A and B are shown apart, each in its own frame.
Chain A
Amino acid sequence: MRFDPMIPIWAQVVEQLQLDMVTGRLQPGSKMPSGRDLAVRFTINPNTAARVYQEMESLGLCEPRRGLGTFVTEDAGRIEALRRQMAEDALNRFLVSLAGLGMTPADAVAMLREHEQDAQ
């Protein structure tokens, strides 16, 4: 994975792992790699990897189990909420770029309809 060096690396790895959860590459209840394995897999500092897990835990996306490691939450509702939130973020970015071009949300809706019709 290539990182943007101007943005905290931990945040970029968290985003990647969230994407993996939403797309099912990381299944609910499955075991996550150890902090060290995560560091090697992403070629990131081990302290950054530890921060990634802290963050995932505080978001309720991962849970540590004593002596067993860290696991993806089994709460399917939590992952569904994450999908929703990521979609909202994408939508906001989309609206911000359109606003930068002088277009309103109503223009955006009209364009989406048009786009959909073209595709059919």
Chain B
Amino acid sequence: MLESKDITMRFGKTVAVDHISLRLEPGHIYALLGPNGSGKTTWMKLAAGLLKPASGEMLWNGQPVGIESRKEIAYMSTEPYFYNWMTAGGVGKYYADFFGDYDAERFADLLDRMELTPELKVKEMSSGMLAKLKIAVTMARRAKVWLLDEPFNGIDLLARDEIARLIVESVDKDAILAMSSHLVEEMEAVADKAVFIKKGVLAESWDLEELRQETGLSMADRYREVYSRQKGV
């Protein structure tokens, strides 16, 4: 279990994450929702152990996240992080050196599904191709937790469908996947839990099938209700 216990993060005077308590359980796919600047990315970086919280803790199976948890928690950031001189295949090798849970065979398969080849050079790839490479190499890890920040951004429709399938088939009963996306529709059927973050605060969390059954609302409808300006702060 990944547990965020009353966690707060500040950048100067800005409170990016404000006392968020949240438990992510194995066997579930979480959609993290919120407008730009609501704190999703900061929360993910805290969960990945890349930022130290101002207060509160982030626990992975009861232990604070850090160097050890990074062996089991795969994080994909929004910004590209590959060197220009690398090839797609080279990016895989780089991951193989860093992560014990990296599966080279799976990477080869995922590259193919993303319609990329190992010979492609990073400096010659479009932003969409780089986004697909990021997904392929992140999901090639046999991780216990995947944290995907904007996995559908800048990616064409068919590849987005392929990514949704890939997410569904990757999350078994022992794994956790959390993703943020502004493409809410892409996540409707794939996620089973939705977490709404508003101005750094956990606003609501839902089981999505219960949301539909109890309120007749989709995740996108609920998003509009939670963040609509007319409803006040």
- A residues with a Cβ closer than 8 A to B are 3, 5-10, 36, 39-40, 42-48, 51
CB distance from A31 to the nearest CB of B (A): 19
Specify the chain A residue showing the minimal Cβ separation from B216.
Answer: A6
Residues in B neighbouring A51, C-beta threshold 8 A: 209
B60 CB → nearest A CB, Å: 22
Best-buried of A8, A45, A46 by chain B (most CB within 10 Å): A45
Given contacts A6-B212, A6-B216, A47-B192, 11 further A-B contacts (CB under 8 A): A6-B217, A6-B221, A8-B209, A9-B212, A43-B165, A43-B168, A43-B189, A43-B190, A45-B192, A45-B208, A48-B192
Shortest distance between the CB of B141 and any CB in chain A (Å): 19
Within 8 A of A (CB), among B187-207: 188-192
Q: B189, A36: Cβ atoms under 8 Å?
A: no
**B165 x A40 contact (CB < 8 A):** yes
Contact sample, A vs B, 29 pairs, CB 8 Å cutoff: A3-B188, A5-B185, A5-B189, A5-B212, A5-B218, A5-B221, A6-B212, A6-B221, A7-B212, A7-B216, A8-B209, A8-B212, A9-B208, A10-B209, A39-B168, A39-B169, A40-B168, A43-B161, A43-B164, A44-B168, A44-B189, A45-B29, A45-B168, A45-B208, A46-B27, A46-B172, A47-B27, A48-B209, A51-B209
Whole-angstrom CA separation of A112 from B66 in the bound complex: 71
B220 within 8 A of A: yes
Q: Give the distance to chain B from A46, nearest Cβ to Cβ, in Å.
A: 7
> Are A8 and B213 in contact, CB atoms less than 8 angstroms apart?
yes
Asked if B58 is at the interface of the complex by the 8 Å CB criterion, the answer is no
**Contact A5/B219 with A44-B190, A45-B191 known, Cβ cut-off 8 Å:** yes
* Residues of A contacting B220 in the complex (Cβ-Cβ under 8 angstroms): 5
Is B2 close to A, CB under 8 A? no
Query: Is B171 an interface residue, CB under 8 A from the partner?
Result: yes
A5 to B110, CA, bound (A): 28
Kindly list chain A residues whose C-beta atoms are within 8 Å of the C-beta of B208: 9, 45
| Chain A residues whose CB sits within 8 angstroms of the CB of B192 once the complex forms | 45, 47-48
The interface residues of chain B lying within 8 Å CB-to-CB of A10 are 209
B28 within 8 Å of A (CB atoms): yes
* Distance, CA A7 to CA B165, complexed state (A): 21
Do residues A5 and B188 form an inter-chain contact, with CB atoms below 8 A?
yes
Hey, which chain A residues are within 8 Å of B219, CB to CB?
5
**B215 CB, min distance to chain A CBs, angstroms:** 9
Residue in contact with B171 in the complex, picked from A3, A9, A42, A46, CB distance below 8 Å: A46
Complex contacts, A48 vs chain B, CB 8 Å: 189, 192, 209
Taken together as a complex, chains A and B put the C-alpha atoms of A55 and B10 apart, in Å, by 47
Residue of B whose beta carbon sits closest to that of A42:
B189
| A45 in complex: contacting residue of B165, B189, B212, B221, CB < 8 Å | B189
- B27, B169, B189, B213: the one within 8 Å of A3 (CB): B189
Residue among B164, B169, B191, B221 facing the most chain A CB atoms (10 A cut-off): B169
Q: What residues of B have a CB within 8 angstroms of the CB of A44 in the complex?
A: 168, 189-190
> Closest CB of chain A to B112's CB: distance in Å?
17
Residues of B contacting A8 in the complex (Cβ-Cβ under 8 angstroms): 209, 212-213
